[in-house]
Amino acid sequence: MKRLYLSVFILISFACCCSAQSVQWASRVVGVSSERKGDLSGEQYRASQTLGSPSKLPLLGETPCAWSPSYADGTTDEWVQVGFETPMRARQIVVAENVNPGSVVKVIVFDEAGAEHMVYQNTSTQPRQDPLLRVFPTDTSYVCRSVKVFINGAALKGPNQIDAIGISTDTKPVMVTVSVSKETPKDIQKENLGKTINSPGQEVAPVISPDGRTLYFTRNFNKENIGGADHQDVWYSVRESGSSGNPAGWRDAVNMGPPINNAGDNAISGMAPDGRTAYLINVYKPDGNMTFGISRSILTKAGWSVPVECKIDNNYNIEVNGMNQMEFCVSPDGRTIILAVQRKDTRGNRDLYVSQQKPNGSWSEPVSLGRVVNTADAESSPFLAADGRSLYFTSSGHAGFGNGDIFVSRRLDASWGNWSEPENLGPAINTPEWDGYFTIPASGDYAYLSSRAGSMGEDDIFRLKLYPAIKPDPVAIISGHVLDAVSKKPMASSVTSSILGDSTERSTFDYNPETGEYRIILPTQKTYNLTASREGYFPTTETLDLSKDKRFRDIKRNLYLVKIEPGQKIVMREVLFEQSQSVLQPGGNAELDRIVTMLNEHPTMELLIEGHTDNQGDWDLNIKLSEDRVRVVKDYLLSHSIAQERIQTKAWGPSKPVASNTNEEKRKQNRRVEFTILKL
């Protein structure tokens, strides 16, 4: 397969599963006789590669993720000694040999006092069929603190490697398997997308738009490519309306043309939630040439804009065999890029890194995602799902079924350095060859990927139905227009989202009526505020309750901006109260602060604050309650140096409902505060 130059896609790996047995794998290197040096910087072939669970087994073959002595066919006395986090009485010792099993000639256990216990000695030079050497000590009265394994490097022709060393209290022989979710179905079918997308040439690196209606991909070996058949171009196809359940429901693919495609190698790596911002490999130069980096293009009424560089601090890739490769993806909120690059601090081949957008629009220096995800072999083709926490990638350094398998890992907190152990997507998805370029629309129903098995020639694009164990968390697509509250005409503005009770922006989007609707992706099972703002208008906020949604939702929501002028009435949707109380719910301060800002910007402005309740309880008590509520709001403004004579109040109780009061959700809308601009 021809891999994409400077492309953007994933390879991931995971940990091995040893049946239901409890195995403690080595956690530290005590010493080593020699180590082979890899072709790259990092930890390739080092003694540290014996730590943790096997990275290669149950497959056999050489890997940079296992310890190798300095020389193949080397000395007769090479050794590595490893320790364990929790010393224990070992009834079984396991040595995993992924290359030339049978080279181990001696195993010594060191107890807590440092005394040596010979538990295995072998003078045979015959290869062993089973890659796992299992030693069952006859004396288990002492505690095993460390294990020293000797190999005869000259005994078996060719390289020798040790993948892992473990100890167990179980006498049942340890078996090593690939860790795949128990929920993985056995009847997963990859569906070829058909002739409208695939050709006898090569179709790889699919990128599905968040709404699932447009599929972008890279086509190679096609004479219609702008740079010729030996260069790759970006093509796209639009899904026929109502054909979501039909893999063949795509229109004939179209070449994107200039300026996205030129005489070089072109590829799209990601698409923003609005479907109108594309992230591309390479930096497009005015003279038509391209250099290493990332670019962004925006779809306007006139077509796609000339790609502009996304400047990343200290962004580089170490060339390997004359190749300067990079792959990447962009987070759903557009503020984070995950890159697969070879840098000075990688563990071996390409690792996955994160870069954050800075306030000035540039991007921070890439930082490694850490040792749980990255290995001494290659991690590549990352894809971050719409939930912002499910990372799919391809890895050659985690145990799998082929040359590179697709894995999923979940972000465990708000940082980008804490990840769950990568989980293999299983043998129905991963083949003996390299598998990758995984992409999922916001709906989370299907995944799209490239594969050669069952193709029309070279690699084709397939889709498969996602099963629950590997699905990302459910999200909602929120889309609509920002309109003038009076004229109902679309207007340019900024749209932001935040979690109710937390004023920190989750995502932001510049809405331009010339290019279409705003579109934001938000994880469900939370309540959000959507705020539209524009100079000369009061920011408007809509509360969006997704707290009970556990499936994908597609929600249309227009936002209306009220111009700052006398007579305008504005509902403070974030200023909410608990039933029968005058205490503000969390989150109200943010909107009140915006009112303070507006009053400071217009020093002669005067306001009328009006309080409302639902219809539950006594009428007179509700009138009193609404009085208390407007007093709370007024006191807040006065505490921020707003003159008392600029604020008037009115309490209406339940007399002016905006909803029916038939249930709590509707009554909540009636427990509101409004203000009217009396004077500007």
The owner of tokens 């892992």 is 164
Question: How much is the pTM?
Answer: 0.87
Given this model, what pLDDT does residue 620 score?
87
Contact between 506 and 544 (Cβ < 8 Å): no
The pLDDT assigned to 6 comes to 36
- Give the residue among 308, 212, 315, 304 at the shortest CA–CA distance from 261: 304
Q: Which residue shows structure tokens 């991963």? A: 430
Handedness of CA 647, 653, 658, 661 (dihedral sign): positive
Q: Tell me the DSSP string of 97-114.
A: --BSTT-EEEEEEE-TT-
555 Cβ contact partners less than 8 Å away, ≥ 6 residues apart: 476, 477, 478, 479, 544
Which of 432, 347, 359, 361 minimizes the C-alpha distance to 397? 347
Q: How far apart are CA 532 and CA 555, in angstroms?
A: 16
* Strand pairing category for 647-653 and 606-612: parallel
* Domain 19-175, CATH among 3.40.718.10, 2.60.120.260, 3.20.20.70, 3.40.50.850: 2.60.120.260
The whole-number pLDDT of residue 621 equals 87
pLDDT of residue 356: 96
CB contact set of 663 (below 8 Å; sequence gap of 6+): none
User: What SS3 state is found at 304?
Assistant: strand
Q: What is the pLDDT of residues 323-354, one digit of tens each?
A: 678 899 999 888 999 999 999 999 988 999 99
pLDDT of residue 183: 83
Q: Give me the long-range contacts of 193-197 (CB less than 8 A, separation at least 24).
A: 193/247, 193/248, 193/250, 193/448, 193/460, 193/461, 193/462, 193/463, 194/247, 194/248, 194/250, 195/456, 196/237, 196/248, 196/250, 196/251, 196/252, 196/253, 197/237, 197/250, 197/253, 197/460, 197/461
Is 100 exposed, middle or buried (CB count within 10 Å of its CB: 0-12, 13-18, 19+)?
A: buried
Q: What is the mean pLDDT of the chain?
A: 89
Q: What is the pLDDT of residues 663-674, one digit of tens each?
A: 887 887 787 888
Given CATH 3.30.1330.60, say whether it is the number of domain 564-680.
yes
Angle at 672 between CA 667 and CA 678, to 5 degrees: 150
Question: CATH number of the domain at 191-470, please?
Answer: 2.115.10.20
How many whole angstroms separate alpha carbon 312 and alpha carbon 355? 8
User: What is the number of helices (H) and of strands (E) in the chain?
Assistant: 3, 47
The amino acid present at 371, given as its one-letter code, is: R
* Residue 355 near residue 366 (C-beta atoms within 8 A): yes
Q: What is the pLDDT of residue 56?
A: 95
Write down the architecture of domain 474-563 according to CATH: Sandwich (2.60)
Split the chain (680 residues) into runs of 10 and give each run's mean pLDDT.
35 38 92 87 92 95 94 81 97 95 95 96 87 96 97 84 96 91 83 92 93 94 92 94 73 95 93 90 92 94 94 87 81 93 91 95 96 96 95 96 94 95 92 91 93 83 91 94 92 90 75 85 92 90 90 93 89 70 71 88 93 86 87 91 93 88 83 88
Q: How many angstroms separate the Cα of 107 from the Cα of each of 26, 50, 67, 137?
A: 14, 15, 16, 10
Per-domain boundaries in the chain: 19-175, 191-470, 474-563, 564-680
